[in-house]
């Protein structure tokens, strides 16, 4: 119940534009998802039924398959049958396809397991996959390309209403590791298909493995002016000014005007959290993940800091786990606007202990964007900081004296408590990260159908997290660019 309430609240905060006005100026895209784990022929039949009214001019598709079905994407015979069933091209028309394996498809709601199946977005080549056949790509091999791969979804909406209209949101979705499914580290394939001489099936004309691909998501004709963000975590400390730090290491924060080891207050807060949850009958088993929100100087005023501090007290005063989880719903109101101003969310990697100048250091995960092989920007940033360079002079520096930091955790949620609830993801597109996934087992070619079709829905889930950006500098001077690795985070665009 709480999960459904939180999700509905987040999505209601995201109104839609007038559909008729949008459709007259943009290319409408066709979305559908088929959930399940049945046989290939049954999947083809379900997909064909959802594609019967798609215009023949839509000559491009993006296919997201759950990791358990990654092998199907490299099965040329299956792909030929599948694509032939969902397209109706003219005799001489080519079909362009980007097929990717993600960790899972959209769950029932943000707190339930990611599901298996196939999710499809169809449009025109220029509208959906601009530049598909330009840039670097490797001929497909049994091992694919080395390194991680990702899809960059360039949307028509903004993160918040305060963002410039010229700064649409880009959501980067890292793909699944599919080594155990098809011997590829990641599966991202671009292919071109032509109608065979018999006219019934599409034949493969070209296939390449890719590391990244831009996808221009315009939606089904009713896009949202702003994204809806579900970010389920709550603060365990009040916001503090960073007094000293280097690269991705926070050394000291200001407490009551005096420099204090960065981890001291956090250690006390986490212990109090352990005790509070244990007293409620929910003792924590194992380590607790912690995130830091780092706000650049000038991005938040005293009223904003007071609001964040009051939120921390509200979360700590909740009488039970359900209401504590419900209190995290304020993140969409208090944290997301700060991201637009240059704030970033970092996972705390390690810290605490030590002595002397090393006492109480905290190490933050420095990632703010998807890293390509050979990308050395993060190392360059650290070296500049070590050499005494201006920490605010580069958008990838993590900590800088004068920035504000606040620590967050995710309230406990038992899997059995999240097994039900309302179906939240029903239309549009959404992307997220989940803590629970269905079993990685794909059915063979059996005849028993186990598929459920959902028209008008597209999206996927990454176990690694999401990256969001808009390329615009916020009030604090930093780019709106961050990684969101908090489990059960979802963005509807």
Can you name the residues that pair with 171 across neighbouring β-strands?
Answer: 153, 468
Single pTM value for the model: 0.88
Instruction: Output the pLDDT for position 403.
Output: 94
Instruction: Output the pLDDT for position 471.
Output: 75
Instruction: Round to whole Å and give the CA distance between 143 and 190.
Output: 15
Alpha-carbon 8 to chain mean position: 18
Instruction: Output the pLDDT for position 12.
Output: 47
Q: Characterise 279 by phi-psi region: left (phi > 0), alpha (psi -120 to 50), beta (else).
A: alpha
Residue showing tokens 């202990």: 353
DSSP state of 221: S
Instruction: Output the pLDDT for position 51.
Output: 75
At 391-427, the pLDDT tens digits run: 344 444 678 889 999 999 988 765 444 555 677 888 8
CB-based contact 473:342 (threshold 8 Å): yes
Q: Which residues of 46-62 are buried (b: 16+ CB within 10 A; e: fewer)?
A: bbeebbeebeeebbbbb
Instruction: Output the pLDDT for position 145.
Output: 62
CB-based contact 464:485 (threshold 8 Å): yes
Instruction: Output the pLDDT for position 398.
Output: 78
Q: Extract the tokens encoding 438.
A: 């269905």
Q: How many CB atoms lie within 10 A of CB 200?
A: 10
SS3 assignment, position 119: strand
Instruction: Output the pLDDT for position 386.
Output: 39
Phi/psi of residue 323, nearest 5 degrees: -70, -30
**Contacts of 224 by beta carbon, 8 Å cutoff, 6+ apart:** 14, 15, 16, 17, 157, 428, 492, 493
Residues of the chain where predicted confidence (pLDDT) is lower than 50: 1-3, 5-6, 11-26, 378, 381-396, 415-417, 445-448
**Contacts of 352 by beta carbon, 8 Å cutoff, 6+ apart:** 263, 266, 267, 360, 361, 362
SS3 assignment, position 302: helix
Please enumerate, as own/partner, the contacts of 113-116 that have beta carbons within 8 Å and a separation of 24 or more. 113/434, 113/436, 113/437, 113/438, 114/66, 114/434, 114/436, 114/437, 114/438, 114/461, 115/35, 115/66, 115/438, 116/35, 116/36, 116/37, 116/66, 116/68, 116/69, 116/438, 116/442
Determine the length of the chain: 493
Q: How many CB atoms lie within 10 A of CB 430?
A: 24
For the chain, the structural domain boundaries read 2-229+421-492, 233-409
Instruction: Output the pLDDT for position 140.
Output: 55
Instruction: Output the pLDDT for position 365.
Output: 94
Instruction: Round to whole Å and give the CA distance between 248 and 240.
Output: 17
Sign of CA dihedral 390, 392, 398, 403: positive
**Contacts of 6 by beta carbon, 8 Å cutoff, 6+ apart:** 110, 111, 230, 232, 325, 326, 328, 329
CB-based contact 41:140 (threshold 8 Å): no
Instruction: Output the pLDDT for position 339.
Output: 95
Phi/psi of residue 254, nearest 5 degrees: -95, 125
Instruction: Output the pLDDT for position 101.
Output: 98
Alpha-carbon 204 to chain mean position: 31
Instruction: Round to whole Å and give the CA distance between 428 and 492.
Output: 8
């Amino acid at each position: 119940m709480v999960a459904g309430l939180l999700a509905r609240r987040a999505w209601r905060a995201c109104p839609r534009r007038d559909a008729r006005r949008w459709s007259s100026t943009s290319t409408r895209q066709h979305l559908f998802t088929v959930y399940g784990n049945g046989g290939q022929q049954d999947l083809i039949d379900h997909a064909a039924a959802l594609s019967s009214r798609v215009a023949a001019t839509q000559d491009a598709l993006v296919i997201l398959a759950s990791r358990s079905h990654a092998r199907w994407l490299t099965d040329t015979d299956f792909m030929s049958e599948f694509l032939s069933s969902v397209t109706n091209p003219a005799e001489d028309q080519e079909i362009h396809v980007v097929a990717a394996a993600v960790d899972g498809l959209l769950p029932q709601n943000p707190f339930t397991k990611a599901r298996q199946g196939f999710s499809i977005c169809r449009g025109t080549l220029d509208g959906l996959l601009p530049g598909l056949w330009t840039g670097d790509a490797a001929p497909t091999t049994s091992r694919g390309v080395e390194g991680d791969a990702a899809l960059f979804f360039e949307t028509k909406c903004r993160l918040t209403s305060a963002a410039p209209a010229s700064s649409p949101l880009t959501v980067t979705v890292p793909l699944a590791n599919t080594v155990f499914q098809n011997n590829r580290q990641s599966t991202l394939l671009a292919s071109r298909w032509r109608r065979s001489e018999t006219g019934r099936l599409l034949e493969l004309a070209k296939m390449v493995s890719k590391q990244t691909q831009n996808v221009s998501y315009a939606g089904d004709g009713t896009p949202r002016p702003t994204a809806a963000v579900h970010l389920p975590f709550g603060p365990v400390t009040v916001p503090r000014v960073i007094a000293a730090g280097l690269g991705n290491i926070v050394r000291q924060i200001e407490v009551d005007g005096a420099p204090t080891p960065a981890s001291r207050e956090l250690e006390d807060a986490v212990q109090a959290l352990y005790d509070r949850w244990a007293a409620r009958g929910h003792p924590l088993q194992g380590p607790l993940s912690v995130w830091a929100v780092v706000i650049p100087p000038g991005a938040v005023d005293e009223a904003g800091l007071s609001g964040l501090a009051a939120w921390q007290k509200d979360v700590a005063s909740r009488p039970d786990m359900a209401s504590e989880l419900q209190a995290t719903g304020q993140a969409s109101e208090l944290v997301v606007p700060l991201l637009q101003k240059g704030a970033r969310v970092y996972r705390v990697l390690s810290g605490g202990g030590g002595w002397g100048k090393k006492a109480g250091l905290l190490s933050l995960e420095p990632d703010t964007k998807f890293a390509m092989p050979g990308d050395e920007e993060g190392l360059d940033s650290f070296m500049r900081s070590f050499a005494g360079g201006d920490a605010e002079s580069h958008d990838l520096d993590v900590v800088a004296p004068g920035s504000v930091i606040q620590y967050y955790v995710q309230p406990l949620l038992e899997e059995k408590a999240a097994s039900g609830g309302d179906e939240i993801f029903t239309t549009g597109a959404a992307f997220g990260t989940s803590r629970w996934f269905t079993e990685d087992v794909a059915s063979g070619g059996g005849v028993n159908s186990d598929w459920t079709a959902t028209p008008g829905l597209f999206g996927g889930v990454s176990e690694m997290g999401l990256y969001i950006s808009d390329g615009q500098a916020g009030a604090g001077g930093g780019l709106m660019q961050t990684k969101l690795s908090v489990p059960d985070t979802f963005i509807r665009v």
